[in-house]
Amino acid sequence: MKLQDKVAVVTGAASGMGKAIAILYAKEGAKVVVSDLNEEGAQATVDEIASDGGAAIAVVANVAKEEDVQNMIDTAVDHYGTLDILVNNAGMMDNMMPAAEVTDDLWEKVLSVNTTGIMRATRKALSIFLEKERGVIVNMASSAGLAGSRAGATYTASKHAVVGYTKNVGFQYAEKGIRCNAIAPGGVKTNIGTTMADPNEFGAARAMSGSDNNPRNGEAGEVADIALFLASDDSRFVNAEVIRADAGWLAY
């Protein structure tokens, strides 16, 4: 049990990579707070964990709202007594919108979820981790945070920000017993595409122009395995790092 008696909050855990991470963490002994906007989906994840003998609760939260983030972390502490691991997985796409057509509304909406949500959850978790002088943060970046056109301009900017933020937090709090790392997945079979209502034809064509070079798409469980490594003591010497998980796609 790599996470025995640890308490973990996983955002965006009603489906996809977040769900896979929450289930794997529970199997490895963690008590998991399953957070998502989708209450039914979050509860389904909890039910699956419980059916396997694990411990989990569901918390409905929109990471773009400060009050929801506060409640999410407070609930974890109130229910399980502390917090050891924060996984900032919740995210959304941007309809592959190119820079010339990005609206203020789209920019603010995507950044509020993909970047500001991570900042707020991290800020809240750090208040606990600093007191304990121990804690782990795992952020979900993207190949779009390392390359220039794996999505639209807004999503790309948001994930580049996550990469920089991860490195900053990891280094600055390294001597406080706190580690912060990120995973940068390439193509993974999840339902994040449902956050795109009407993909921009030009932006999508440019973003997907290198898709033929992708060796393969990944499974959510493969990303969860990396998230387990980063949350466990197996990665105790890994900090302020971004791990690519893309079957080598960005190497081209």
Q: b/e map of 222-247 (b: 16 or more CB within 10 Å)?
A: bbbebbbbbbbeebeeebbbbbbbbe
In one-letter notation, the amino acid at residue 8 is A
Q: Is residue 110 part of a domain?
A: yes
Q: Is residue 87 part of a domain?
A: yes
Residues 10, 57: Cα–Cα separation, whole Å: 11
Catalytic residue among 80, 155, 165, 173: 155
Whole-Å CA distances, 45 to 3, 93, 218, 220? 18, 22, 21, 14
In one-letter notation, the amino acid at residue 142 is S
Q: Is residue 230 part of a domain?
A: yes
CB atoms within 10 A of CB 5: 12
User: Which residue in 226, 224, 93, 222 sits closest to 155, CA to CA?
Assistant: 93
Q: Is residue 2 part of a domain?
A: no
Q: Is residue 148 part of a domain?
A: yes
User: Which residue in 5, 4, 35 sits closest to 22, CA to CA?
Assistant: 35
* Digitized pLDDT (tens) for each residue of the chain, 252 residues in all: 999 999 999 999 999 999 999 999 999 999 999 999 999 999 999 999 999 999 999 999 999 999 999 999 999 999 999 999 999 999 999 999 999 999 999 999 999 999 999 999 999 999 999 999 999 999 999 999 999 999 999 999 999 999 999 999 999 999 999 999 999 999 898 876 676 778 999 999 998 888 888 999 999 999 999 999 999 999 999 999 999 999 999 988
Q: Is residue 1 part of a domain?
A: no
Domain region containing 165: 7-251
Q: Catalytic site residue 252?
A: no
In one-letter notation, the amino acid at residue 123 is R
Mark out the alpha helices in the chain (DSSP H runs): 16-27, 39-51, 66-80, 104-111, 117-132, 153-172, 201-207, 220-231
Q: Is residue 189 part of a domain?
A: yes
In one-letter notation, the amino acid at residue 212 is D
Residues 152, 157: Cα–Cα separation, whole Å: 9
**Domain tally, the chain:** 1
Q: Is residue 119 part of a domain?
A: yes
Do the beta carbons of residue 35 and residue 9 sit within 8 Å?
A: yes
> What is the model's pLDDT at position 202?
94
pTM reported for the whole predicted model: 0.95
> What is the model's pLDDT at position 198?
85
> What is the model's pLDDT at position 192?
66
- Report the CATH number at residue 161: 3.40.50.720
Degrees (nearest 5) of the Cα angle 163, 169, 173?
155
Do the beta carbons of residue 115 and residue 158 sit within 8 Å?
A: yes
